[in-house]
Structure 1
Amino acid sequence: MIKTLRDTIAVLYRRFRNSLTTDDEVTISRRYVAASNYAAGTVNNLIGANFLTGFLLLLNADDSFMGLVTMAGFVGNLLQILSPLLLERFQSRKRMLIFSRAIIHFFNIVVISLIPVLPCANPVKLMLILVIILLVNLINAVTAPGFTVWHIKSIPDNVRAKYFSTFNVMNGVIIYTVVLAASKIADDFKASGNEMRGLLVLRALALILSIVDIYFLFKIKEFPNQSSGTKVNLANILLNPFKEKKYLITVTIACLWSYSANIPGPYFNMYMLKDMDVSYSFLNIINMFNIPALIFLAPLWRKRVNSTSWFKVLYQSMGLYLLHYIGLSFVTKGSLFLYPVSVIYAFMIAPGINLVFGNIPFINIPEKDQTIYIGFYSSMNNLAALLGVLTGKEFIRATEGKTMALAGITMYNKQYVLLLTATAMLISVILIYYLQKISQENVKASAAEQNKPLSQVLDCEGN
């Protein structure tokens, strides 16, 4: 299997290198965008998710602190709405953005990795980590819209569905293969009583990949940024998005997902690692099933988008996806089989959601001053996600020590918070259904005003 994987990677690499000498600069740049994102995504998975949860649990983090860590990321990113005040001052932003990414990698990987060896108590170490996570997300907030606008210029409208579908498949294959190998490393160290050392080894690997990320960022072409000519100020940043009613519908739809999907927070992962005492390998072996799901089902979801619309695929896939939360809520030591069943089911549906969210920030977006609108979109989504995390955190706090019996199973709050999540997502699905109806009516009116065929406007505006 390893030899086959190695041969496959070698073939893909040769094709990648050959294509760089024959394709136009936009296509070449698009491949570098993908390569950078593959590296950055792998870095985030080596230092985040289950590995970050395990890292913090070794420093005796409790439920409340884990909630704060999740919230810190969203609080920091709320400032994305103000990023145009900095970014719009520069016609060329590439070097500044790359420098910011390097700073983020340094603090996220190197500085946090050094904290466990500091001669201070665990509560102090945890507080330092929380401060760094907040700092990293503040830096990200200022620069993230710039990355988005920079990279999307290498991904024209006519190739986005295919690009995001292919990217999601390859990204899943790369990340889950690396994470599975990393899980084996972490479990081996854990078995010998050196779990923290194992997690630090993974962080060293992440540091190497962060250098790869920076290398590919330098290769991506920077195209000119379009501006309306209006001076960017605080009033424009805060008020202009509210003048774009079609884009407000896009933002609202995205926020409904962000709120409901973030209610579970990190609590179910804590339940699996701490209460159920499962290994990293168990969790990530199950995650490997995401690879065939992506390979075989992502193209089907892409066809669904092409035959219907982005928003329709979103509410349909969300309606199916919420069922997996119900399945996970019934996972106990006696019903552990429900975990792989529910997660694999979710993997079958998730490509539809991920495909839509690859493009949704650009649905109905005005052509000029896009940094303003991307910053607004990101800030509102982070606010919605923060409210979701806060809802979950307060729910966990209010129900601490309380159990609930359902279908003969005694559930703890880290389980039945998923039932709350499923309910919130169902309400979101209903609201998105009606919002996309309104969006469709707006598109019909726009087509009539522009004297364009409805299909042409639908293609441009994603409905």
Structure 2
Amino acid sequence: MKNFIPALKNKWQHSTLRYVYNAKDDRGRGRLCMLVSGIMAGIVGQLSTGFFYTGFLLGHGIDVVDIAIITFIPYITCFLNIFSPWILEHFKRRKFILAAGKLLYYAFNIVGITLLPEIVEDPQARLAGFIAIVVISNSINALFTSGYSAWQANFLPDDVRMDYFTSSGCINSLLSYIIVLVVSVLTDRLQDSPEQLVMITALRWLAFGLAVVDCLIQLIPKEYPYLKKAKAKLSNIFVLPFWHKRFLLTIFICAAYTFATNLPNATLNAYVLEILDGTGMQYTLPNAINALYFLFFILFSRMWKKFVARHYWFRAFAFAMLMQSVTYYIQVFVTADTIWLYVVVRLMQHVFGVVMNSIVASLPYVNLPEEDRTNYMSFNTIISNMAVFLSMMLGTVFTSYMDGGARIITVLGYPLTSTQILVFACAAAQCIVGGMTLLLAKRVTPPEVLGQKAEST
């Protein structure tokens, strides 16, 4: 026992975590604040979006197609990112403006949506109100979100980026999903009772309290000078990226993957709640599976880190995407009669999620120029959100065509709902994007990395 504590202390002194989150170093402290803020934002997101958000809307009489519309409509506000650099580059110090913008976004998106059903009773007016609130809140968010990316890029040099995204993802999922799992059990115990909706509403108020904490944490990290080469102009967002072809191709690869993965997402949560209806585990089972995510980080992060180091970002992204697509093909066969398959598929997706989430978070930084970063990150945000918008809109239109999922199409004797067909389309699209990424890998990999790999061989 006497030797245990010194050994533990020595291990911590030489650990990757201490290096990444060293509070005595400005950049390490910045990453630590990003971690804590990410945990707060993760819990806020789980309590105010996802399954609980879908349940909240269903509880107030919003049907599946309208939920899908409410889900994808906000992404069209991404065009307001055009104004983000023009606004922010007039300020040498931005963190107070960014925190205020984030708090205003949370106020509309959580408080506004929570209060609306108490004020508006007409179903059509209520739907219009939900849409208006999410559009306003996301418009505010669009004006400021790229400012965080430009600021936080200083804390994420290439040598710590993978370690940061892997470790922060593990810690974030561990804490946020354990909390969500506990409240899911309590919520499911109130199934078929009016108190369940009261519980979900209370969770939204808790989420807003944590959101305020998130905004306060954002005020702590140091701000570095924002390097500018071009004069602040609205057109720079769409002009500058075309002078950096590797960055441009990187963003379009990310957007193609985003489009593929979001095809079923507008209706997938509602589909899962539907097949779990009557099991007593509507919220507990999916959130329990999500809560296991951190274990997969612990078990597989080292393996995937070596995988990325061997193949570098783009080839690793392509190979992992092709393997992940298999899980979506299997997910097509998940129904109320095969809930066990839902569990198996989600756990398989966790394995690939460890590397895919880390790579997707890292890719925009791989070829990011040193100067005018707000413009480049705004371009990334616009393209990414447009990919989500178009993907979810396509999924929603298809679901509406299929009578909100009630219509069945039989393929080779197997009945398929709209969501199952969209999951199949997601799998096929991932195969296409994975193949495209393999073909473009050499063109988008930085020359210095290709040179290092050539020397090592």
TM-score computed with the length of structure 1 as normaliser: 0.88
How far is the alpha carbon of 1:62 from its aligned partner? 2.0
- Preserved CA contact (<8 Å) 2:78 2:139: yes
Structure 2 counterpart of 1:454, from 447, 451, 455: 451
What SS does the corresponding residue of 1:405 show, helix, strand or coil?
strand
> Is residue 384 from structure 1 mapped to residue 387 from structure 2 by the alignment?
yes
Q: Report Cα offsets for 1:339-381 as digits up to 9, x if no partner.
A: 0011100001011111112211112111100100000011011
Instruction: Measure the CA separation in 1 of the matches of 2:322 and 2:451.
Output: 28
What SS does the corresponding residue of 1:410 show, helix, strand or coil?
strand
Change (3 A) 1:457 1:245: farther
Structure 1 counterpart of 2:398: 395
> Is residue 165 from structure 1 mapped to residue 166 from structure 2 by the alignment?
yes
Instruction: Measure the CA separation in 2 of the matches of 1:324 and 1:216.
Output: 37
- Superposition pairs for residues 52-451 of structure 1, below 5 Å? 52-228=53-229, 230-277=230-277, 279-400=282-403, 401-406=406-411, 409-440=414-445, 443-444=446-447
- Preserved CA contact (<8 Å) 1:70 1:266: yes
Instruction: Measure the CA separation in 2 of the matches of 1:296 and 1:142.
Output: 39
- Preserved CA contact (<8 Å) 2:247 2:444: no
- AA paired with 2:444? S
Instruction: Measure the CA separation in 2 of the matches of 1:455 and 1:268.
Output: 43
Structure 2 counterpart of 1:31: 32
How far is the alpha carbon of 1:44 from its aligned partner? 1.1
How far is the alpha carbon of 1:140 from its aligned partner? 1.0
- Preserved CA contact (<8 Å) 1:318 1:429: yes
What SS does the corresponding residue of 1:150 show, helix, strand or coil?
helix
Instruction: Measure the CA separation in 1 of the matches of 2:455 and 2:336.
Output: 49
What SS does the corresponding residue of 1:83 show, helix, strand or coil?
helix
Instruction: Measure the CA separation in 1 of the matches of 2:22 and 2:268.
Output: 48
- Preserved CA contact (<8 Å) 2:408 2:418: yes
Change (3 A) 1:458 1:81: farther
Instruction: Measure the CA separation in 2 of the matches of 1:188 and 1:276.
Output: 14
How far is the alpha carbon of 1:406 from its aligned partner? 4.6
TM-score computed with the length of structure 2 as normaliser: 0.90
Change (3 A) 1:335 1:376: same
- AA paired with 2:227? Q
What SS does the corresponding residue of 1:194 show, helix, strand or coil?
helix
Instruction: Measure the CA separation in 1 of the matches of 2:318 and 2:82.
Output: 26
Instruction: Measure the CA separation in 1 of the matches of 2:103 and 2:113.
Output: 15
Instruction: Measure the CA separation in 2 of the matches of 1:103 and 1:335.
Output: 43
Change (3 A) 1:101 1:392: same
- AA paired with 2:426? T
- Preserved CA contact (<8 Å) 1:115 1:129: yes
Instruction: Measure the CA separation in 2 of the matches of 1:41 and 1:32.
Output: 14
- Preserved CA contact (<8 Å) 2:110 2:208: yes
Change (3 A) 1:457 1:362: farther
Instruction: Measure the CA separation in 1 of the matches of 2:388 and 2:302.
Output: 28
Change (3 A) 1:266 1:22: closer
The percentage of counterpart residues that share the same residue type is: 27
Gap regions ≥5 residues in structure 1: 1-11
How far is the alpha carbon of 1:20 from its aligned partner? 8.9
How far is the alpha carbon of 1:405 from its aligned partner? 3.2
What SS does the corresponding residue of 2:410 show, helix, strand or coil?
strand
- Preserved CA contact (<8 Å) 1:327 1:339: no
Instruction: Measure the CA separation in 2 of the matches of 1:425 and 1:25.
Output: 39
- Preserved CA contact (<8 Å) 1:305 1:313: yes
- Preserved CA contact (<8 Å) 1:108 1:133: yes
Change (3 A) 1:259 1:220: same
- AA paired with 1:232? A
What SS does the corresponding residue of 2:415 show, helix, strand or coil?
strand
- AA paired with 1:396? T
Instruction: Measure the CA separation in 2 of the matches of 1:249 and 1:112.
Output: 37
- AA paired with 2:390? L
How far is the alpha carbon of 1:74 from its aligned partner? 1.2
Change (3 A) 1:76 1:235: closer
How far is the alpha carbon of 1:58 from its aligned partner? 1.2
What SS does the corresponding residue of 2:318 show, helix, strand or coil?
helix
Instruction: Measure the CA separation in 1 of the matches of 2:455 and 2:100.
Output: 38
- Preserved CA contact (<8 Å) 2:275 2:335: no
Q: Report Cα offsets for 1:217-266 as digits up to 9, x if no partner.
A: 121211111111x3111232321211211111111110111110111023
How far is the alpha carbon of 1:291 from its aligned partner? 2.1
What SS does the corresponding residue of 1:153 show, helix, strand or coil?
helix
Instruction: Measure the CA separation in 2 of the matches of 1:90 and 1:216.
Output: 20
How far is the alpha carbon of 1:275 from its aligned partner? 4.7
- AA paired with 2:259? Y
How far is the alpha carbon of 1:430 from its aligned partner? 1.2
- Preserved CA contact (<8 Å) 2:166 2:358: yes
Instruction: Measure the CA separation in 1 of the matches of 2:204 and 2:296.
Output: 28
Instruction: Measure the CA separation in 2 of the matches of 1:116 and 1:38.
Output: 29
- Preserved CA contact (<8 Å) 2:21 2:31: no
Moved over 6 A (4+): 19-22, 456-459
Change (3 A) 1:191 1:57: closer
How far is the alpha carbon of 1:27 from its aligned partner? 1.2
Which moves more between the two structures, 54-63 or 390-399?
A: 390-399
Instruction: Measure the CA separation in 2 of the matches of 1:20 and 1:430.
Output: 36
